[in-house]
Each structure stands twice: as structure tokens, then as C-alpha cells.
Structure 1
């Protein structure tokens, strides 16, 4: 009888454990189902946001390509404008020389005419020819008079033609310069528009990033909340099942005790197996790998700031305030364009730099902490930084070298 009761007790306990396992499996499956039901909602939202972000990033890439093309065109136009300005300066010198030669020839002709009339009028000249002696002298005198007139006329016509040719060339170059300036203005307007659009789209990308992060956070919080609710429910169910199993076990034990009262002491010694309690500690260990990426920071070489050279450069720039803007101009005190001013100022400090803004940008080093004497750069334009957010520049045709507020994309140091 004791063995039978022990077998019944073991079966009850095994059955209770199996029942608890089945219940636990059902609860686990339910928890997974709940989390899967929540996840797709957030996953769809996150995927939608990522698709929007990708579309905007593609727009930004396209706009950046357009901007790079515009910047290249601005740089090319700057080079052409400098060359054209230098050609115009040269034609002005040529025109001046031609006009001086024309004037000199005209003055010389007037002197010869005056000499001829002082030695006799046209009739007197004819008399000279007729009284020259023999026929050979007479012909020589007549030929000489005619040659003087022909020479003067040819020279005057020659110089007049030269003057006209130079004037025509100058007019053509100025028309070309005007067209180039108009194209540059249009390209700069396109650049400003693209810059604004890129900034707007970049802000949109940042906003989408924030939305994605927020959606991911909410999804994680919702999943954690659901998991915690399910864990608590499972824990309550487990406790109920354990309580039910304990009551059943106690009831069975009481039944066994009442039916085997005659052998109570033996039954107690044989059936008292001691309550074995199984404690299941369910700990969710989330392996978080914090990958610390240490960037070696291979920073580009930044030249040290030379305060002495910077002061010389700034002083040189101040000395040119009021000088007219001239395309291709590189003559201090006479006419300067933006890169002509910067190149000349650096030359005063013994520093040789390229002539155009694009080459200056390529040859120099970009710095984030500008100092007086560094170069303010943006596509197609350069100036001298003088500190306190100001610069000295040769702005554009029709204006003079002056102090203005900084307008800059990069600061360059040599």
C-alpha cells in the first residue's frame, strides 16, 4: 500500500510539472505572437521613413552635383574674365601708343607744311621746281615735294587705321567682358539657389533621422512593455499553476493519510519525500556590444599662423582701400581684381600664391580658426581676413577696394 501511494504521489508531481511546462510553452508562444503583432506596425513606419530619407538624400546628391558643376563654371569664368581684363589693359596701352604716334606724325606734317609755306606758297614751290636748273634737278624737286605729301598722307592714314583697329579690339573685348560678367552673375544666382535648396534638404534629412530614431525608440519601448506585461502574466499563471498543483498534492496527501491511517508512521516515513521546489529564474540577457571605434584622426597638416606675415598682409590690404576694381588688374594703386589684390598683398610678405581663386583654394590649406592675413574664399572670389568677422576685398566692377563683413565658404592659409 505504501508503494502504491508513493507511485501516485510521484505521478501527480510529474503530471503537475508536465502541465506547467505545457502552460509555459503556451505563454511563451503568446508572448512572441504579441511582440510580432506590435513590431510590424513600427517596422512599416520605420521603413517608410527610411525610404523618404533615401529619396531626399538622392535629391541632395543630385543638387550637389549641379552645385559642383556651377562652381566649376564660375571658376572657369573667373579665369576668362581675368584674361580678358588683362587683354583690355594691354589694348588700352596699345591705343595710347598709337594715338601718341598719330599725334606726333600730325605735328611733324604740320611742321613740314609750315616750312614749305614759309619758303613760299604753292606758287613759290612751283617756281622752285621750274628754276631748279636742268631737267633732272627740276624733276627731283617736283618728286620730292610730291613724296612729302604722299608720305604724310600715308602715315596719317596708317596711324588712323591702327587707332581704329585698337579701338575696335577694345570694344570687342569689353563686350566679351560684359557677357562673361553677366554669365557669372547668373551662375552665382544659381549657386545661391542651390546652396539654399541643399541646406533645406539637409535639414529635411536631419528631421527624418530624428523621426526614425524616435520610431525605433518607441518600437523598442513598446516591445519591452509588451514583453514585461507578458512576463508578469506568465508569472501569475505559473504561480496559479503551482498553487493548484500544491493544493492537488495536499489533497492527495490528505487522502493517502486518511486511507492509510493504520500505517501513518510508516507512510509518513516512506511518503515524506520533502517538497522539492523548482525555481526557474528567467533572465533575459541582452548582449549589448559597445563597439568603440577610435578614429585615429588622420588630420591634414595645418600650417602654423605667422603673425608677422599676417600683419604685413593686412597692412598691404589696407593700403589699397579705394583702388578701383579692374578685371585682370594686378597693379596696386591703379586697378585690382579680387585675386590680384590678394596675390599682391601676399607678395609683400614674401609669399607666392596662385593668381586665381580656384588655384588658391587648391594650393592652400583650409583652416577653421581664421587669423588676420588668412584668405576668405568662396567660389570665384577671394579676400583678406582682417579679424572680427571682417575682410578687405575688391568686390566687383564699378566698386573700389573696401572693408566688408565676411562672406565665406572656407578660410585658406599659406
Structure 2
């Protein structure tokens, strides 16, 4: 009987060992399968997203390079427009002076003709001298009349030549101005298109950042699950091994210490100070704004620097600052280079965009000399930088 019972116990122990081995194999195999199938897929997804982000960033960098080049062209074009506008203004002054000179010549010639006939020095006097037989006097009188005629004719020809030359120069300059303004329009369209594309691409990068973060988070979660499964499999294997060792006396007791402490604490300091780099003077700012308001309605003139008559954008800003006792450069590029970019705009600061400047008056508004055909007016702020002097 004892032998039979012993055989039965051996059979039971062998069966339990086989069962435990089978359980361990299944658990370990499941954990390995999970690790091998999930981890590579998530890694590939993160890698693809990062590649998309890199490609998009390269596109943005290329577009930004194009935009920077275009902004340089806009700045150069602004200088050409100002110079040509000033030349047109000077030509108009020259034409006006030529017309005034012609009027003076005409009035002088009328006075000479009137004097000749009233004093008897005209053709009537010549006839009188000829009839008296005094040939010498007649010749002198004729020569005098001819000299006057030649002088007037010469002056008239000079005037006509001057007027034609000035008019031709004005036509040439106006044609050049038209071409420059067309180029300006083309540049503005290109700038708008590039800015729009850069904004869209930047938005794509932000979306990819979100997707990458989500994919990385998901990969981390799956990795944690994989490690948990592996841990459970190891615990199961260890429990099976303990059961096998203690199977003879059916003792499965034991102590497992899985305790631990995880310290994820930390401190993040995101504080900072932004220094605008320029002190704001309310008195100066108010003087600048008052000067800008005084020019509302003044016509836009390229190269214009004359208040109440004609101003371009930088001419307006330069005038306003001059009224506050401040001297600033003539062009938008020089204005940006010479001032301080601030993040706390105040009335009197300069609203700057490539090729254009205006006076900030507060509440998201500015006063600007915008473009040909549009007088100085109050507009909603359009700005890349706020500049302070």
C-alpha cells in the first residue's frame, strides 16, 4: 500500500511540475510577443513624425530666407521711391520757376514795345528819319530794333527749351515712379504669400509636435505595460520555481518584498524679466501723437517731407519726432536699426513693418501716411515690431 501511495505522489508531483512549466512558458511567450509587436510599431511612428517635422522645418527655413531677401529688396525699393519722389518734387519746382521766368520775359518785352512806340523809337521814327535823308540815324534805329527782336527771340527759345526739358524729365520720372510702385505692389503680394505659407507651415510643425508628444507618451505607456507584463511573468516564473521546490511538502508560503519608493519631485523655474531697453517719456510721447494728429488729411507724396503739404510714411514719422525734439533716420530700415524694439508699446512709439512706419497712438491704432491716393489717416495697427527712441 505504501508503494502505491508513493507512486501516486510521484505522479502528482510530475504532473504539477509539467503544469507549472507550461504556465511559465505561456506567460513568458506572451510577454515577449507583446514587446516585439508593439514597441517597433510605436518607434517607427515617432521616427516618421520626427522626419515630417524636420522636412517641414527645412521648408520654413527656406521660406524665411526668401522672405528676408524680399524684405531687403523692399527696403532698397523704399529708398528708390523716396529719391524719385524728391526728384519729381524738385522738377515741378523747376518747371514752376521756368514758367515764372517766361512770364517775366513776356512782361518785359511788352514794356519795351510800348516804350518804343510811345517814345517814337519804333518803325514810325525810322520812316521819319528816312524821309529826312538822315541814313545813319535810320540804320542805327533799324539795328536797335533788330537787336531787341533777336534778344526776345533768343530768350523765347531758351524758355521753350527749358520747359520742354523739364516736362520731359518729369514724364520720365513719373514713368519710373509708376514702375517702382508696380514693383512695390508685386513685392507686397509676394511678402503676403510667403508670410501666409510660413504661418501654415509653422502650424503644421506645432501639430507635428503634438502628435510626436502623444506618440512618445503612448510609447512610454506601452513600454510601462510591457515592463509590467515582464515583471508579472518573472514573478509567475519565480512562484512556479518556488512551488516546484516546495512541492514535496506542499509548502508554498514565502515573502516577497516589492516595496519601493519613487521620487519624481522637482522644481521648474520659468520666471524671467523682459527689459524693453528704452525708457518711455509720456510727455514726449504725447507731443509725437499730437504732431501726428495735426497731419491727418495731408496728401501722400513719395519722398514728401513737407508738413501740411505732402508726406510719405517715414516723412510723417520723422516730422512728428522732430516736433518732440528728437532726430531719427529717414528710411524704415534705418529707423529700425537706430531704435530699440519694445514689447510694451506706448503712444508715440513707431509701428514698423518692412518698408513702412507709422505712429502708435494707443488702443491698437496708429496714424500713417499709407500710400499714393490715400491721405494721412488713423488705421488699425499693422506691425512686426514696435520701435522706441
Normalising by the residue count of structure 1, what TM-score does the alignment of the two structures yield? 0.81
Query: Using the alignment, how far apart are the partners of 1:223 and 1:109 within structure 2?
Result: 106
Secondary structure of 2:179's partner? Answer: helix
Q: Does 2:373 correspond to 1:398?
A: yes
CA contact under 8 A between 2:288 and 2:348: conserved in structure 1?
yes
In the TM superposition, residue 282 of structure 1 has moved relative to its aligned partner by: 8.9
Cα 1:129–1:91 shift into 2, 3 Å = farther
Query: RMSD between aligned alpha carbons?
Result: 3.1
In the TM superposition, residue 26 of structure 1 has moved relative to its aligned partner by: 11
1:219 aligned residue: 219
Match of 2:324 among 346, 349, 372: 349
Secondary structure of 1:354's partner? Answer: coil
In the TM superposition, residue 183 of structure 1 has moved relative to its aligned partner by: 0.6
Equivalent runs, 1:54-73 vs 2, <5 Å: 54-73=54-73
Query: Using the alignment, how far apart are the partners of 1:289 and 1:61 within structure 2?
Result: 38
Cα 1:403–1:294 shift into 2, 3 Å = closer
For residues 56-105 of structure 1, what are the alpha-carbon distances to aligned partners after superposition, in whole Å with 9 as ceiling and x for unaligned?
A: 11111111111111111111111111111111111111111100001110
Cα 1:289–1:70 shift into 2, 3 Å = farther
Query: Using the alignment, how far apart are the partners of 1:129 and 1:410 within structure 2?
Result: 85
For residues 327-381 of structure 1, what are the alpha-carbon distances to aligned partners after superposition, in whole Å with 9 as ceiling and x for unaligned?
A: 1111111111111000000001111111111111111111111100001111111
In the TM superposition, residue 277 of structure 1 has moved relative to its aligned partner by: 6.6
2:84 aligned residue: 84
1:359 aligned residue: 334
Query: Using the alignment, how far apart are the partners of 1:383 and 1:177 within structure 2?
Result: 22
Secondary structure of 1:407's partner? Answer: coil
2:359 aligned residue: 384
Query: Using the alignment, how far apart are the partners of 2:218 and 2:133 within structure 1?
Result: 124
CA contact under 8 A between 1:129 and 1:142: conserved in structure 2?
no
In the TM superposition, residue 239 of structure 1 has moved relative to its aligned partner by: 1.5
Query: Using the alignment, how far apart are the partners of 1:213 and 1:190 within structure 2?
Result: 34
1:16 aligned residue: none
Query: Using the alignment, how far apart are the partners of 1:150 and 1:129 within structure 2?
Result: 23
2:345 aligned residue: 370
Cα 1:286–1:47 shift into 2, 3 Å = farther
CA contact under 8 A between 2:24 and 2:240: conserved in structure 1?
no
2:229 aligned residue: 229
1:127 aligned residue: 127
1:74 aligned residue: 74
Query: Using the alignment, how far apart are the partners of 1:29 and 1:288 within structure 2?
Result: 32
Cα 1:339–1:131 shift into 2, 3 Å = farther
Equivalent runs, 1:115-194 vs 2, <5 Å: 115-119=115-119, 123-127=123-127, 130=130, 136-194=136-194
Query: Using the alignment, how far apart are the partners of 1:352 and 1:241 within structure 2?
Result: 90
Q: Does 2:309 correspond to 1:334?
A: yes
In the TM superposition, residue 234 of structure 1 has moved relative to its aligned partner by: 2.0
For residues 187-220 of structure 1, what are the alpha-carbon distances to aligned partners after superposition, in whole Å with 9 as ceiling and x for unaligned?
A: 1011111111100000001101111111111011
Q: Which range moves more in the overlay, 307-316 or 52-61?
A: 52-61
Secondary structure of 1:151's partner? Answer: helix
Cα 1:128–1:346 shift into 2, 3 Å = farther
CA contact under 8 A between 1:343 and 1:354: conserved in structure 2?
yes
Ranges in structure 2 where 5+ consecutive residues have no aligned partner: 1-19
For residues 264-299 of structure 1, what are the alpha-carbon distances to aligned partners after superposition, in whole Å with 9 as ceiling and x for unaligned?
A: xxxxxxxxxxx997857597x9998979798987x6
Query: Using the alignment, how far apart are the partners of 2:179 and 2:72 within structure 1?
Result: 18
Secondary structure of 2:246's partner? Answer: helix
Query: Using the alignment, how far apart are the partners of 2:224 and 2:365 within structure 1?
Result: 55
Query: Using the alignment, how far apart are the partners of 2:233 and 2:135 within structure 1?
Result: 144
Equivalent runs, 1:194-213 vs 2, <5 Å: 194-213=194-213
Q: Does 2:217 correspond to 1:242?
A: no
Q: Does 2:292 correspond to 1:310?
A: no
Q: Which range moves more in the overlay, 65-74 or 107-116?
A: 107-116
Secondary structure of 1:382's partner? Answer: strand
Larger Rg over CA atoms:
1
1:322 aligned residue: 297
Query: Using the alignment, how far apart are the partners of 1:326 and 1:309 within structure 2?
Result: 27
